[in-house]
Amino acid sequence: MAITTFNQQFDQHHTWRNGMAQRLRALADWLKEQDLLDDAASERVQQLLEQLRSDKVMVAFVAEFSRGKSELINAVFFAGYGRRIMPASAGRTTMCPTELGWDPDVPPCLRLLPIETRLEPQSLIDWRMAPEKWTRVDLDVNNADQLASVMEKVSETLRVSVDEARALGFWHDERPEDNPPINASGEVEVPRWRHALINMAHPLLKQGLVVLDTPGLNAIGAEPELTVSLIPQAQAVVFILAADTGVTKSDQAIWREHLAPMATGSGSRFVVLNKIDTLWDALSTPAQIDSQIARQRALTAETLALQSDQVIAISAQKGLLAKVRGDEALLAESRLPQFEDLLGKQVLSGREAMLEQTLRIVVDNVHSASARVLGVRRRELAEQKQELQGLRGKNQAVIRQMRLRIDMEKSEFDRSGASLQAVRSVHMKLLREVIKLLGTSSIKKELAGLSVALREPGIKFGLKKAYGQAFDNLRNIIRQVQSLETEIQSMLNGAFRQLNTEYGFSLQPPSAPDMTRFEEDLSAVERSHLQYLGVGNLFQLARPEFTEKLVRALAARVRSIFETALGEIELWNKTSSSQLDAQLRERRRAYNRRMEAITRIQDAAGSLDQRLLEIDEQEAQLADTAVALERQVRELLVSAVMPQPAQAAAPAHSPEMLAVPLPA
């Protein structure tokens, strides 16, 4: 089987996304030229183009200290620099959660949020909106030494008193075995920074990759947003263990409290048994070493209740060394290529399937709307042609009579606007109810009881019931929205049916958005929060500053889900209105063209035969346009299928595989 590195697969994914965006933009531009793209379809296309342009793929690396997590990040993403970029020395290195990504509006830099912000009630989401509160250090992405030197800052620590450590969440009287050691001055060591954001123009980061590096059990547990927001939204979570220690108590705590609840989520989970080079024994045969690694994988899988093929054994350090030296044999022995291949296929194939499905839905909607407009135009031309053919051999009195009849039809059609306005009024009234249900005040109301329960002082034993009630209320809101959607859909069906009968329209009410997935999203958020309700977190939940962060993180996540649902409903509403507006516009144009033709014939400005010839030419043009529409849509959908690589990958150390050119 051909093995491709994650870098290669991500390059292919980016190329595919760009190709889809170019073809979709070309289709939209062509439809605009033909006046076939209504406002709603244009908005759908723009949303998808933005998604294809800025789609993010997050890979979260989770591990206790000294498991080789930062070394694995170096091996997979930064081997092209020919040295370590992320600090990966012995002991604790990455002391704070670190995100690596790319924002073109921000210069390359490392931004660091001081640890003291934990004493404030604001959540991480709030702090992201206050860039002036972060310490910024500029990066030179072409200077590997400067880059690595700056990255060392994520390892910085402070010495604080026990009381300060307790306030910051790094000292727990109820779990003394987890507390950091006290030095001779009575101080303990804590991270200097709460969170780090690295913005750099690494090719993979520019293409939409986001890497989340999370440090240790204490840091994860003290930042609820990591577990209830960032990590669950990652497309892949890589949990790293050390082959020489196996699954330790703290490893089990991270898995049980933070990763096992994600089993039903949409992201992929990988368990990496790192540092297999510690099992390479010169006195053992290769078969014996392989057998020992297989036993460690099986034991790890049994401990974590996984299948053995869900545990991948590698040596990140040897893999990095092999890439830097160009040592093919060592790279194969490190087993790093198998991990990269699996990571890329699992993460990107799911993302591509999602984007392809979205593309097909958007293109199908645009295609249907455009085809309906073409159908209306063809029908209007056919009716006008038949009408004009009936004038052959008629005198001026008959022609004047036809002009009066067209004028009366147009006036009657214009008067129908009042009934249409009544339909729109009812529609908007129902839509306002939906907007109210999904608004911020509604969220606050339904979360009020849970917020009170979380903010109560002391140990909280009834939180599970409070969470259940709050999320039942939120899911009920989604069901109410679904019910209103059904009512709106029924009203549109009746109104469109009547308009089709009275005016010969071809209106087809679009299907209402399915609210089921938003219920599922709420259930996923509920599961991610319920992990805090175990016995191990009772004392953490007793801390007011922690529960305040939990409340804010919960409200932000629910608000994001509701805003997404509301956006889909508003676009559905716009699609219905745009379809009606398009056919009304075409009908008015048809009346104007009919009147113009009669006037020309009546005034002898143009002959009847000339006008019939013009209609024949217009019909031929419409037929050509319809054929071109079908061809472009077909080609776009065929090209949307992500091609599978047919050849084996180039060696990981070859120039075309280096993620970043080596600095001069």
Q: Which residues of the chain, if any, have pLDDT below 50?
A: 1, 264-266, 535, 605, 646-664
Which contiguous run of DSSP H or E holds residue 314? none
DSSP bridge partners of 664: none
List of domains in the chain = 57-156+192-334 (3.40.50.300), 390-606 (no CATH)
Give the β-pairing of 109-114 and 193-199.
antiparallel
- Asked whether the beta carbons of 211 and 238 are under 8 A apart, the reply is no
Distance CA(43)–CA(257), nearest Å, equals 42
Dihedral sign computed on CA atoms, order 145, 151, 152, 153 = positive
pLDDT tens-digit readout, 292-341: 999 999 999 999 988 887 899 999 999 999 999 999 999 999 999 988 88
Both tokens assigned to 156: 């910085």
From residue 335, how far is each of 2, 152, 340, 504 by CA, in Å? 14, 28, 9, 67
Side-chain-side CA neighbours of 632 within 13 Å: the count stands at 21
Q: Give residue 393's pLDDT.
A: 66
Which contiguous run of DSSP H or E holds residue 404? helix 396-415
Contacts of 322 (CB under 8 A, 6+ apart): 328, 329, 330, 331, 333, 334, 336, 652, 653
Q: Give residue 341's pLDDT.
A: 85
From residue 261, how far is each of 217, 468, 521 by CA, in Å? 16, 16, 14
pLDDT tens-digit readout, 498-550: 888 887 888 888 888 999 999 998 988 888 777 666 545 666 677 777 777 77
Q: Give residue 400's pLDDT.
A: 78
Q: Give residue 273's pLDDT.
A: 94
End-to-end CA distance of the chain: 36
